[in-house]
Every structure is written in C-alpha cells, then in structure tokens.
Amino acid sequence: MFENFTLERIDTGDVTLRVRHGGSGPPVVLVHGHPRTHTTWYAVAPALAAAGFTVVCPDLRGYGQSDKPASDDDHAPYSKRAMAADLVGLMDALGHDKFAVAGHDRGSQVAYRTALDHPDRVSQLVVMDGVPMVEALERADAKFAAMWWHWWFFGQTAKPAERVICADPETWYNAWTSNSPDVLGPENHADFLAAIRNPATVHGMVEDYRAGLTVDRRIDEQDRAAGRQIQCPMLMLWSTKDDMEEIYGDPLEVWRPWCPQVTGHGIDSTHHIAENAPAELVQSLLEFL
C-alpha cells in the first residue's frame, strides 16, 4: 500500500499529523472523511503520483494517528478553520507554497474552509459529497434528520455518543459488513479498525461533528454575510448511489453562491468513492487538475 510513499509525523505548528506523501510535480492534498484515515486514498494517491503529482495524505487532527487536542465548550479545537490551518502548516513544512486540495465527506468541509481562509495558498479545490455546513443545516428538514440523524446524536453532549460507540465500535462502524476488509482492502481496513478501536479517536471524530453544528456554522454565516467566495477553480463530485441528490437536488446549485464558476458531476458509486470507484475518481481528478 502506497508504494514509494513516505510515512511520517509532521509538526504543523499546533498539532502533529500522521502524513503519507509521495510523487513529484504539482502538489495536491487529499483529505479523508469520517470514519476513515488517510489510507482511504490507497488506490487514488499512487495513481495521481504516477500521473505527475506530489500527493499528500494526512490524518486530520482527531482522526487516525494524528494528535487529538483537548476540546472546549465551543469545540473550536475541532473546527474546520483549525483543521485548514493544519493543512497550511503541513504544506509549509513540506515546502509547498500553493497546492490543490481535495476533500471527501467531513474532509470536504476542511477543503473548502482552506480555500476560503487561505485563498493565496489554494490553487484548485475539489469537494466530494459535501456542501457548506450552513447550507446543510438550513436544509435540515425531517427527511434530512431521518437520513443524517447521526449528526444530532454526535452533536449532543448531555449523553455523550462516545459511550455508545466505544461499547462496540466494530458493530457501530460495520467493520465486518459494509466496511469489511473485502470492501476497504485489507491494509486500509486494518488502519480503519485501529482507529475506531481507540476511544480517543472516537472522541476526536465526534468533536468534529460538534464543531460542525456550532463554530463551523457561525464561520460560514460570517463568510456569507461578508460576501466571501471561493476564488480558485472548483470541482464538485458526488456519489450517485448516496443521498446527495435526494437531499439537495442538483448539488452544484447549492455551491454556486459560494463559487459561481463551480463545475462537477456525479460518479456511479456509493458514499466512500475513493474505495468504491477509484478509477472513475482518478479520471475526474486528472481532468480537473
């Protein structure tokens, strides 16, 4: 897995991230979602490197084997603003001034926040299976709540979700059914399994959602009120066998107020697109990048 890539821990200034990187050429950061680690890109990253890109795959703070800082009442240490700053610090450490960033699921939130907060650093943006947090929450009707109920379960703190998840994490995360070694690939599955078995990682992942419902929404609202938009070219991709179209209709319409020049399309895949349809994803990324 990740042949000819380097695996190391890199100090980003605030936290230390576990990172795998390789290749040469224009740099692109691949940002995983929940409940994955950077190894979700095992079939995508080498293909991009072979096509002439430097590919950087971190574990987000709170996830995998990256640092898990203490949180606070506002959950700001797990905000997408903090995670975006981690990516900039990481690319500084690796010597890259400008870079493309592509994020999936929760990683898509980090990716677009990086483009908004650091427009001078991001050359291109790819968002997969995600919309701005404030746009998602403003559309949170009964259908949304029924389909994405885990957002509210993770978000509340009176009866922490971690206690339920950690009682049987392998069943909670379908580690031997829809997230089995056959589906994820054996090495990726082993990394996923180690992550979900770690209570500190489960806490970090849940804090990500708590930040989404609070500080991340407020930051989006501030950007929208100020008229800030994504300045770089943007590609939106979504899994057609997931629920993006059912909830949002045309996801591009949700993104146009944030990036008028956004382009994109669906890919015939279930939610974890990097594992379920890597060849199609790589082709879409190469055409855009």
**Catalytic residues, which ones?**
105, 271
d(CA 148, CA 155): 12
Which two tokens mark 34? 């929940």
Q: Are 113 and 80 in contact (CB under 8 A)?
A: yes
Q: How far apart are the first and last CA of the chain?
A: 23
d(CA 95, CA 50): 20
| Burial class of residue 207 (count of CB atoms within 10 Å of its CB; 0-12, 13-18, 19+) | buried
Which two tokens mark 279? 């060849």
d(CA 152, CA 156): 6
